[in-house]
Amino acid sequence: DPAEVRALSELAERVARSAGDLIRATRPARVQVAATKSSDVDPVTAMDLASESHLRALLAEHRPHDGVLGEEHGLEPGTSGLTWVLDPIDGTVNYLYGVPAFAVSVGVVAGDPDPARWTPVAGCVHAVEDSRTYTAGRGQGAFRDGVRLEVNPARPLASSLVGTGFGYLAARRRAQGRVLAELLPRVRDVRRIGSAALDLCRVAEGSLDAHYERGLNPWDLAAGQVIAIEAGAQVSGLRGAPAGVEMSVVGPAATVHELAALLAELGADADD
């Protein structure tokens, strides 16, 4: 129902902006790591935790029957068939160092909250430092601060600017480095911006041609996927698989086709 999709994308924007206000208002001069997660270089700050609690409280007030899956506090199942998928700060390492590329990512998906099976319905990625806000609702287009977005026309891979990112585990990084060494000579250039949610928005607005990454979590993908799709991107895995934790490739269809074929040839969906 278009009215419900619009209401969901408006609520995603409202709560993402509100978490952005909290993050901007309370940024300490020097951010400290509160804990680490999957490895010693995978940080959690007090603000990741505070931002997620803030988002959960707002959503509980407005959508008490929906599920919520968040990076820091896991899954609280709901009964409506919809799940809010939250990254309270995507780009935590940038946040930690004061690099301005981090965002609050709020997506809503229907069905199982697993990227290989879900249907992305609506989402908002709010870039905190420059307050740029990307939104989309299924069937209703993608927007940055009210301006409609469209992916770049498909270019051959050799002239494409490709974004990627790296996981936090050493064995995965070794494999990602090996793939990158093969890819780099075959593309225009590579960007590692440090926030997968913003990478997907960049594909949507055309400031990247394409993005790929292995090992992304549902909260890195939920909002960015619907924004990219609504801007005309194809979202895919390798060898015909849907985009998921194994691999996400996003961009104009022909570029995704070429990039996914090369990544499959390089075995980019396996660790060393």
Give me the phi and psi of 260, to 5 degrees please: -65, -35
| Distance in angstroms (rounded) separating the CA atoms of residues 187 and 157 | 6
| Shortest distance in whole angstroms from residue 139 CB to ligand IPD | 27
Residues 229-248, interacting with ligand IPD (CB under 6 A): none
107 forms part of the interface with ligand IPD (CB under 6 A): no
The two three-digit tokens of residue 265, written as one number = 């040839």
90 forms part of the interface with ligand IPD (CB under 6 A): yes
Among 72, 205, 220, 230, binds ligand IPD (CB under 6 A): 220
The two three-digit tokens of residue 128, written as one number = 């905190």
199 annotated as ligand-binding = no
| Shortest distance in whole angstroms from residue 146 CB to ligand IPD | 25
Residues touching ligand IPD: how many (CB under 6 A)? 15
| Distance in angstroms (rounded) separating the CA atoms of residues 143 and 124 | 10
| Distance in angstroms (rounded) separating the CA atoms of residues 82 and 79 | 8
Instruction: Name residue, tokens 């990478």.
Output: 199
Task: Decide whether 245 or 266 has the Cβ nearer to ligand IPD.
Answer: 245
Stretch that binds ligand IPD, among 77-85, 87-95, 122-130, 228-236 (CB under 6 A): 87-95
The DSSP bridge partners found for residue 64 are none
Stretch that binds ligand IPD, among 124-132, 177-185, 193-201, 257-265 (CB under 6 A): 193-201
Stretch that binds ligand IPD, among 8-16, 174-182, 211-219, 246-254 (CB under 6 A): 211-219
| Distance in angstroms (rounded) separating the CA atoms of residues 33 and 218 | 23
Burial label for 62, CB within 10 Å (0-12, 13-18, 19+), is: exposed
| Shortest distance in whole angstroms from residue 213 CB to ligand IPD | 6
Terminal Cα distance for the chain, rounded? 45
| Interface contacts to ligand IPD, rule CB under 6 A | 71, 87, 90-92, 165-167, 194-196, 213, 215-216, 220
Binding site listing for Mg(2+) = 71, 87, 89-90, 220
